[in-house]
């Protein structure tokens, strides 16, 4: 997750982008929790928004959360009545019966193969993953430069990366499909300013944030059927040792 976006005074608990983006993750975990998945491994967690939000919505299904981010100085743990949240800067321990969450992380990693293999080396049993990345190189702009991205993905390119590193894919799709033309047009119109680095996510007036939240939330409830185009590419599936 991109901490540079939250540095722009964005409230993740209210902003339409974060609040709508979590919907497919909630849908996926809801199904997995019925099959014994009890733990969350949130890699590149940043503020830990997505994993902590899962715990808020599924407090009785989650036993442990591990937020992993190189930005954490020292490991620490917060205990709740029925679960614990650990914060560490490296993934050192093996894990089982877990959902590995990678929300907009892979595009920041120069050696994506080594990174994915390092995750797989720690899996030890019945584990799944939920992964998002920015979609389509044609949307590259100063937004990507500002967030220190190496690349954007399509379903086809992400599928190759995951398969060659031992990730078993169950479903891939795009999110924010209807917003793709608007984002493409905006970035083409302002192409002359492509060297100006900034994030496109900014605080919005309450009325506009409300409308975008309602619209994007409705669309993302059915995003798993969209294999054509979008702003975000999603992969869901199983972890297994090669």
Q: The domain spanning residue 19 has which CATH number?
A: 3.40.50.150
CA distance 26 to 119: 22
Q: Is the pLDDT of residue 236 over 80?
A: yes
- Number of domains forming the structure of the chain: 1
For 126, half-sphere exposure in the C-beta direction (CA atoms, 13 angstrom radius) is 8
Mean pLDDT lowest among 83-87, 129-133, 199-203: 199-203
Say what the pTM is. 0.93
Compare 4 and 46 and report the one with higher pLDDT.
46
Q: Read off φ and ψ for residue 41, nearest 5 degrees.
A: -110, 105
pLDDT tens-digit profile of 135-145? 999 999 988 99
Of 212, 204, 220, 211, the residue nearest 10 (C-alpha): 204
> Residues of the chain with pLDDT > 90: what percent?
76
Q: Is the pLDDT of residue 7 over 60?
A: no
Of 198, 222, 127, 223, the residue nearest 167 (C-alpha): 127
pLDDT tens-digit profile of 22-49? 999 999 999 999 888 999 999 999 999 9
The CA-based angle 211-48-30, given to 5 degrees, is 70
Q: What is the domain range of residue 161?
A: 3-239
> Residues of the chain with pLDDT > 70: what percent?
92
């Amino acid at each position: 997750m991109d901490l540079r976006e939250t540095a722009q005074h964005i409230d993740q608990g209210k902003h339409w982008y974060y609040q709508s983006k979590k919907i497919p993750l909630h849908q996926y975990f809801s199904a997995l929790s019925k099959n014994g998945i009890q733990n969350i491994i949130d890699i590149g967690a940043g503020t830990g928004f997505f994993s902590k939000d899962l715990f808020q919505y599924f407090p009785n299904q989650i036993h442990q959360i591990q937020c992993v981010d190189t930005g954490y100085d020292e490991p620490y743990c917060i205990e709740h009545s029925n679960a614990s949240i650990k914060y560490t800067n490296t993934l050192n321990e093996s894990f089982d019966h877990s959902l590995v969450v990678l929300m907009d992380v892979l595009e920041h990693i120069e050696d994506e193969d080594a990174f994915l293999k390092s995750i797989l080396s720690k899996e030890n049993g019945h584990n799944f993953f939920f992964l998002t990345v920015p979609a389509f190189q044609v949307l590259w702009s100063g937004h990507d430069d500002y967030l220190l991205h190496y690349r954007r993905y399509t379903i086809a390119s992400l599928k190759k990366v995951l398969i060659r590193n031992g990730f078993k894919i169950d479903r891939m799709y795009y999110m924010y499909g209807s917003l793709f033309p608007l984002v493409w047009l905006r970035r083409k119109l302002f192409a002359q300013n492509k060297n100006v680095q900034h994030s496109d996510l900014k605080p919005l007036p309450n009325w506009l944030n409300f409308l975008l939240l309602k619209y994007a939330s409705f669309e993302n409830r059915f995003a798993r059927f969209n294999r054509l185009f979008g702003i975000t590419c999603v992969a869901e599936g199983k972890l297994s040792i090669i």
